[in-house]
Amino acid sequence: WKHERNESLEKNFISVPNLVAGSPSVEAASAPGVETNGLGKDWTAARRLPQALIIGVKKGGTRALLEFLRLHPDIRALGSEPHFFDRHYARGLNWYRSMMPKALDGQIVMEKTPRYFVTAETPARIHAMSKEIKLIVVVRDPITRAISDYTQIISKTPDIPSFEKLTFKNRTTGQINSLWSPIWIGMYALHLERWLTYFPLSQIHFVHGERLISDPAGELGRVQDFLGLQRIITDKHFYFNKTKGFPCLKKPEGSSKPHCLGKTKGRTHPKIDPEVIQRLREFYEPHNLKFYQMARQDFGWQ
């Protein structure tokens, strides 16, 4: 389903019939790159640079958050991940703007690329584009996140070593391989430090990944507050899918079935040796505590 409310806004204000033949306001409204309601005033849809970004983290719930936010009529969000600030920065801001969906005045344009949070160059690049931009980070227990990350990796490359083997530099001494991407991404304090060099904490909102599953309406309410939007997305939009193990959107009008995320979401995680989980808890504990202090909230990961 194509987020009819968002889509319809764009369609409704583009092709209102010309009520008065030869009306100058109609001709004036046909400027390139701008779409109007045919009356030459009030409503214009144009491509703009984003005012908000979901910058991370990978396997934290960023896709779910984006899909839920797209229900809001005042949000226009790009569905794909443009990777502008980490991979395609040389293409320039005009290229980036051209990727964005058209938006009306008052609508918030946003995109999500989870790699931004852990890429060293991105905070400075985003700051150069906009000092006022709002940043959203979805975080979850770094151990669960690492296992989810590994589960995605083995779905594409099934011949790689076990999670247990890749977790350690040396299994005998118990030294964790902190440079292995699934472990490294979960060291949230390390990455957040760079963002706080460029942006105040007031411009960064943390979505609690576990609560996004257990109480999606509550988490979405806080995100809408952060973005300065009316709380339109509420608990009436969600139901819990027991098979997948996370919330799905209820059936929208005109659609035959409810909307859940694709097959790649909600994969069954492999069973991990409890001793390895314990070693990871010990490894992450100081990193988590530092992150709680920096974010000024306790996420309760044990």
Which residues are catalytically annotated? 59
Please tell me whether 59 is known to bind a ligand: yes
CA atoms within 13 A on the CB side of 252: 16
Please tell me whether 265 is known to bind a ligand: yes
Number of CB atoms found within 10 A of residue 45's CB = 23
Tell me how far CA of residue 179 lies from CA of 49, 169, 172, 184, 185, in angstroms.
34, 9, 18, 6, 9
Please tell me whether 22 is known to bind a ligand: no
Quickly tell me which residue has 């009316």 as its tokens: 230
Q: H or E segment at 147?
A: helix 142-156
Please tell me whether 266 is known to bind a ligand: yes
Please tell me whether 44 is known to bind a ligand: no
At position 187, the amino acid (one-letter code) is M
Please tell me whether 148 is known to bind a ligand: yes
Please tell me whether 267 is known to bind a ligand: yes
CA nearest to 125, candidates 89, 78, 99: 89
Number of CB atoms found within 10 A of residue 87's CB = 13
Question: How many angstroms separate the CA atoms of 194 and 85, rounded?
Answer: 15
Please tell me whether 140 is known to bind a ligand: yes
CA nearest to 38, candidates 24, 52, 53, 58: 24
CA nearest to 23, candidates 11, 41, 42, 43: 41
* Angle formed at CA 219 by CA 217 and CA 221, multiple of 5 degrees: 65
CB 219 within 8 A of CB 210: no
Provide the annotated binding site: 59-63, 140, 148, 265-269
Binding residues for 3'-phosphoadenylyl sulfate: 59-63, 140, 148, 265-269
